[in-house]
A and B are shown apart, each in its own frame.
Chain A
Amino acid sequence: MKKNRTKLWYLGYAACAVMLLLIAFAGLPKSADVGLACAFGAVFGVSYVQLWYDRQAKKDESFEIELTDERNVQIKYRAGYLVCGVDMFLFGLATVVFIILDYTLPAIITGVMLALQPAILIGASSIIGKKI
């Protein structure tokens, strides 16, 4: 199962190659090229890091232990929860600043992102709750 998951990350490299080919030869509008370049960076980064993690875990037993250690996993969850709260505060702050500066569109975007956070939290909790 783990091996299959590792192989899946190589699909990320394949997707990156397709995106590069599209950028180079498809003659798409510039905005599409920029979007593809961003997607390329994200997919390549995530795939590379995941494959690097898997390689390190195979090479170094202590690395795998550090990754799977239950206290470290709990620290990661708690830190993530804290970061989520800080993110919401910062989004709220950014929204207020944008409203004060009369930047309507950025204010709407950050406001929507802020409003979506609890919805995502409820949705994710519901999905995870069904699995546990």
Chain B
Amino acid sequence: MKNRLEELRRECGLNQDELARALRVSRQTIGSLENGRYNPSITLAFKIARYFGLSIEEVFIYEEEPD
């Protein structure tokens, strides 16, 4: 799943550490999310979307895996 986390974070002028503290997750989690290595739980996805004042679909882009 792709996401716009890095782009949104940069727009807000935050570094990974500041965003991690605001969302109460580790900095490594933010890094992994931005790199697309880790997909968040629905709870964290909501937290992230609400933090930026957006809907989940505006932050996370779900793409079906090809068969």
A87 within 8 A of B: no
A102 within 8 A of B: no
Taken residue by residue from 47 to 68, chain A's Cβ proximity to chain B (1 for < 8 Å, 0 otherwise) reads as: 0000000000000001001101
User: Do A70 and B24 touch across chains, with their CB atoms under 8 A apart?
Assistant: no
Q: Report the nearest B residue to A64, measured CB to CB.
A: B24
Taken residue by residue from 1 to 45, chain B's Cβ proximity to chain A (1 for < 8 Å, 0 otherwise) reads as: 000000000000000000011001110110010000010110110
CB distance from A2 to the nearest CB of B (A): 16
* List of B residues within 8 angstroms of A68 by Cβ: 24
CB distance from A56 to the nearest CB of B (A): 15
| CA gap between A72 and B24 in the complex, in Å | 13
| CA gap between A65 and B21 in the complex, in Å | 8
| CA gap between A68 and B44 in the complex, in Å | 12
Chain A, interface size category, equals under 10
In A65-109, the 8 Å CB interface with B consists of 65-66, 68-72
* List of B residues within 8 angstroms of A71 by Cβ: 25-26, 28-29, 32, 38
CB distance from A66 to the nearest CB of B (A): 6
| CA gap between A109 and B41 in the complex, in Å | 41
| CA gap between A62 and B20 in the complex, in Å | 10
* List of A residues within 8 angstroms of B40 by Cβ: 70
* List of A residues within 8 angstroms of B26 by Cβ: 65-66, 69, 71-72
| CA gap between A68 and B20 in the complex, in Å | 13
- A-B residue pairs in contact (CB < 8 Å), sample of 8: A65-B21, A66-B26, A69-B26, A69-B29, A70-B25, A70-B41, A71-B28, A71-B38
A65-B24, A70-B40, A70-B41 known; 16 new pairs, CB 8 Å cut-off, are A62-B21, A65-B21, A65-B25, A65-B26, A66-B26, A68-B24, A69-B25, A69-B28, A69-B29, A70-B25, A70-B43, A70-B44, A71-B28, A71-B29, A71-B32, A72-B29
